[in-house]
Structure 1
Amino acid sequence: MARTTESELSLIEQAKTNPEAFGQLYEIYVDRIYSYIYYRTGSQADAEDLTARTFFRALDSIGRYVHRGLPFSAWLYRIAHNLVANWHRDRGRRKFVSLEDVTAIGPRGKSPDVHAEDNERRGELVAAVRRLPEDRQQLILLKFVERLPNAEIGEMMGRTEGAIKSLYHRTLIALREDLATRSFHW
C-alpha cells in the first residue's frame, strides 16, 4: 500500500471545505472500509451502518486531519476500528464472518478429495487463529485479508511499526506452536 500521494493530499485539503472532494475520498475508500468492518462484525446491515458512521465521523473530523506520513486510509481504518470495538463492547459479543467461508473457495481444477483436504487444513488454521487473543486476530486480519503494511496496522492499533513487527513474529510463533501440538501438517 503506497503512501499518500501529492494529489491525494491535495484532495484531502480540498475535502476540508468542499464536500464533493470528500465524496471522492469516500469513493476511493468505501469498499475497503466496508470489507474490514464486515469481517469484524459478520453482519451486512451492521457493516453498512458502521461504514456510514466511519465516513460521517471522518467528514466531521476532516478539518482536524493532519498528515503524518502514513496513508490517509490508516486514519479511516482507525476510526472504523474504534467504532467496531465500541460495537462489540456494546453488544457483549464477538461475532465474526466465518473465515472458513472466506477461505473455502479452492482453485479450479483440483480434485474433490484434494479440495476437501485443503478445506480441512484451512479449518484447522482458522480454528488456531480464533484461539489467539483479540489483538493478534486483528493483526492477522489486517495483514492477510486487508494486506496492509505494518506502519498502517500500527497506526490503526495504536502501536509503533516495530511493535507490530514484534507482535506479528510472536503471533506466527504462537500459531506454529499451537498447530504443532495438534499435529497440524500444511
Structure 2
Amino acid sequence: MDPQEEIALIDAAKSDPNAFGLLYERYVDRIYNYIYFRIDSKRDAEDLTGQVFFKAMSNIKSYRHMGLPFSAWLYRIAHNLVANYYHDRVRKREIALDDEQAQFLPQYDQHPEKQTVKTQEIENLMAAIRKLSPIRQELLVLKFLDQLSNAEIGKILRKSEGAIKSLYHRTLLELRDIMSTGKEENA
C-alpha cells in the first residue's frame, strides 16, 4: 500500500471500524512479533498486542499524519506498553504456572543431535540479544523480524538513517563480543 492509500485508509478508519480492521490486519503480525521478541511470553504478547490496537482504535480520531508511516505510531504505542509491562513486573514478580514455550521446542526428526545443536545455538543467540540494551534489541527486532529498512527504523526510533546505520554496526559488534565471551566461558 502506498502512503497516499494508507492516509486515505486512516482517514476512513476515523469513522469506519471496518477500515480500522484493514489496518489491524495489515499490522497485527508485525506488532505481535515486535512485542513477543521483547517480552518472550506468548500470552502476554497477545494481550499487549490487543492493547496496542485497542489504544490505536480509541485514539485514531486524534491521529495526525506527520510524514511517518502509520506503523511508526503503532510501534511507539507498543514500545510504551512494553516499557510499562517491565515496570509493572519489577513491582510484582510472577512465576508462570504454565509452560507457554513448549510449542517452540524442536520436533525431532531423523537427526535429533543436529536439532539439539541448532536449538542450543538459538538459545545462545537469544540470551546474547537479551544482554543488549533495550534500544539495540528493538533495532534487531525491527531489522530482522519486521525486515524494515534503516530509513523506516529511523522514523520509528526518531533517529536519522545514518544514526541507525551506526547503531546497527555497534550493535552487531557488541553482539559478536557477547557471543565470543560466552564461547570462551563454555570452553
Q: How do 1:33-182 residues align onto structure 2 when only pairs under 5 Å count?
A: 33-92=31-90, 111-182=111-182
2:10 corresponds to: 12
TM-score if structure 1 supplies the norm length?
A: 0.76
1-structure distance, mates of 2:125, 2:43: 28
SS in structure 1 opposite 2:159?
Answer: coil
1-structure distance, mates of 2:164, 2:116: 34
- Determine if contact 1:4/1:69 at 8 Å carries over to the other structure: no
- Determine if contact 1:139/1:168 at 8 Å carries over to the other structure: yes
Match for 1:127: what amino acid? A
Match for 1:124: what amino acid? N
Deviates more, 1:118-127 or 1:165-174: 118-127
TM-score if structure 2 supplies the norm length?
A: 0.76
Q: Measured at CA, do residues 133 and 110 of structure 1 come closer, stay the same or move farther in structure 2, by a change above 3 Å?
A: farther
**RMSD of the TM alignment (CA)?**
3.3
Deviates more, 1:150-159 or 1:9-18: 150-159
Cα-to-partner distance string for 1:116-172 (whole Å, 9 max, x where unaligned): 333333333222222222221222222222322223323333333322211110011
1-structure distance, mates of 2:28, 2:61: 19
Q: Shift in Å at residue 82 of structure 1? A: 0.9
| Structure 1 portions without partners, runs of 5+ | none
2-structure distance, mates of 1:126, 1:45: 19
Match for 1:113: what amino acid? E
Q: Shift in Å at residue 110 of structure 1? A: 7.6
